[in-house]
Amino acid sequence: MKALNENNEEQKMVDEGKVEQGTENKSGYIRMKKFPFIMLLFLLVFLSAGITTFALAFGKDKVVTVAPQRSEFNKLYAAFDTLKNGYYKDVNQQKLINGAIDGMVSSLDDPYSDYMSNEEAKSFHSSISSSFEGIGAEIQEKDGHIIIVSPIKGSPAEKAGLKPNDIVVTVNGKSIQGMNSTQAVTLIRGKKGTKVELTIQRPGTDAPMTVPIVRDTIPIETVYGEMVDESIAKVQITSFSTNTTKELVTTLNDLQKKGMKGVVLDLRQNPGGLLDQAVSITSMFVPKGKVIVKEQDRNGKVKEIASQNEGSPNLPLVVLIDKGSASASEIFAAAVKESAGVPLVGEKSFGKGTVQTAEDFKDGSNLKYTIAKWLTPNGNWIHKKGIVPDFDVALPDYASLPIINPEKELALSTSSTEVQTAQKMLKAVGYDPEREDGFFDEKTKEAVIAFQTAQGLPADGVLKGDSTMKLMDLLREKIKASDTQLQKAVEVLKERMK
Between the alpha carbon of residue 160 and those of residues 58, 233, 429, 470, the distances in Å are 45, 28, 18, 11
Are 340 and 290 within 8 A, CB to CB?
yes
The catalytically annotated residue of 10, 338, 347, 418 is 338
Q: How far is CA 86 from CA 81, 89, 91, 392, in A?
A: 8, 8, 10, 62
* CA 228 to chain CA centroid, nearest Å: 27
Total number of residues shown for the chain:
498
Q: Are 233 and 255 in contact (CB under 8 A)?
A: yes
Q: Which one is catalytic: 123, 239, 241, 327?
A: 327
Q: Is residue 251 within 8 Å of 222, Cβ to Cβ?
A: no
Query: Do the Cβ atoms of 357 and 30 come closer than 8 Å?
Result: yes
6 assigned to active site? no
Which of 352, 373, 424, 470 is an active site residue?
A: 352
Cβ atoms 254, 246 nearer than 8 A: no
Please indicate whether residue 197 is annotated as part of the active site.
no
SS (H, E, C) the chain: CEEEECCCCCCCCEEEECCCCCCECCCEEEEEECCCCCCHHHHHHHHHCCCCCEEEEECCCEEEEECCCCHHHHHHHHHHHHHHHHCCCCCCHHHHHHHHHHHHHHCCCCCCCEEECHHHHHHHHHCCCCEEEECCEEEEEECCEEEEEEECCCCHHHHCCCCCCCEEEEECCEECCCCCHHHHHHHHCCCCCCEEEEEEECCCCCCCEEEEEECEEEECCCEEEEECCCCEEEEEECCECCCHHHHHHHHHHHHHHCCCCEEEEECCCCCCECHHHHHHHHCCCCCCCCEEEEEECCCCCEEEEECCCCCCCCCCEEEEECCCCCCHHHHHHHHHHHHHCCCEEECCCCCCCEEEEEEECCCCCEEEEEEEEEECCCCCCCCCCCCCCCEECCCCHHHHCCCCCCCCCECCCCECHHHHHHHHHHHHCCCCCCCCCCECCHHHHHHHHHHHHHCCCCCCCCECCHHHHHHHHHHHHHHHHCCHHHHHHHHHHHHHHC
Beta bridge partners of 366: 116, 360
Residues with Cβ within 8 Å of residue 476, at least 6 apart in sequence = none
Catalytic, 338? Answer yes
Question: Where in the sequence numbering do the catalytic residues fall?
Answer: 327, 338, 352
